Structures are given as C-alpha cells and as structure tokens.
Homo-oligomer: A and B are copies of this chain.
C-alpha cells in the first residue's frame, strides 16, 4: 500500500544493497578496512548486522565486491574514450588524462582498490584484478601501434614501456590517495608525461638541436 509496491520488494532490496555498499565504501575509505566494523556499516545503512549477511557473505566479500562495478565501468569507458584518436602518443596522453580523471571522480573506489584490495591475499583471484589487468594491457596495443606507425622506436619493448607507464601512474595515484587528495592529480602532469614518454620516441628529442625527420606524418593532418 505504500509507494513502489508492485515490484516493491525488489526496490527495497536493491535499495538496501546499495545503501550497504555506499556506507561500506565511505567507511572503508575514511577509516580503513580493519578499523571499520560490521556494526558501523550496518548502522550507517540503517540495518542490523544480520541483515547485511543477507546481501554479502561477510566483511571481506564486501571489500572485494565494492570496486567491481566501478572497474567494470572503467573498462567500458576506456574503449569509448580512446576510439577514434589517431596516433599512439595522442592515445597514450588521452589514456593517462582519462584514467586520472576517473580516479579523481571516484576517490573512494580508488582508495579501496589501491590501498586495501591490492594487499588482500585473495586479490589475485578477484574479477577486479582481471579487469585492472585488462585496463593496463590495453597499453600494449598502443605501444605496438606506435612502433608500427614509426612514432615510437622500433626496438621498444611494449611490456617494459607499459611497466614504466603504469608504475609511474600508480605511484602518482597512491601518493595522492595517501596524502588525502589534498592537491590536484594533474599538477605537472604534462611535464611528467613528456619526460616519461620521451624515451619511447623514434628519432631525436623535440628540444634537441638536431630535430628528427618527422617519420610519423600520420600525426600532422594540416
């Protein structure tokens, strides 16, 4: 007889599940996984502890489930964002800017993935892990493309380039999260991107006295 009745139970159910997730996300990110109790989470979600176990197997399951949706969305969004961009360096730049923007928009999810999930021994068996790998392995394609087009040096090892790229990126992210997001993730980003990718380039550096011969004509439509 109240509102939303016909599929009412569904609505309530999903509502509760969502409330649990968002409460847990907030509390985990604020106080850490260990210091957050199941009572805290249920209270904040307006439920009893026992009710929480209707939706999740337990505290750890909650931790593993929370970022799943977020990372899945990232995967889809990525292809969308990179679609149609011409040139490996342009794609690489777009990738970095896009990814950091996603982190900035969902810092709670990011904190959980980067600070708590990665240290969990079950992380490797998680779907989140598989998705993060997929996210990162897309970079391999970009480097392959760069080599094929001549933008990047022919002897570039795409896996090592990815390690440098991902390592640097993760380092920036983790520091930002640990420092409580107190500054902009995009500070100096242009400069660090150039410095990092400079070694990937075919030919000489842009600031060198001896400019390279513009092998990658693809990039300049004008």
Contacts and interface: CB of A to CB of B under 8 A. Distances in A.
Given A178-B124, A204-B205, A208-B204, A164 B34 contact: no
Interface in A149-199: 153, 155-157, 160-161, 163-164, 166-172, 174, 178, 188, 191-192, 194-199
Given A115-B119, A199-B198, A157 B191 contact: yes
Contacts of A35: 121
Given A195-B199, A196-B199, A171 B160 contact: no
Contact of A171 (B120, B161, B166, B191): B166
A139 to B, nearest CB: 13
Nearest to A194: B199
A31 interface: yes
A183 to B, nearest CB: 13
A168 B163 contact: yes
Q: Which 6 A-B pairs have the closest CB atoms?
A: A167-B171, A198-B199, A167-B168, A199-B199, A167-B167, A160-B192
A207 interface: yes
B195 A160 contact: yes
A203 B208 CA distance: 6
B207 A155 contact: yes
A50 interface: no
5 contacts: A115-B118, A164-B192, A164-B196, A167-B171, A198-B199
B32 A119 contact: yes
A160 B178 contact: no
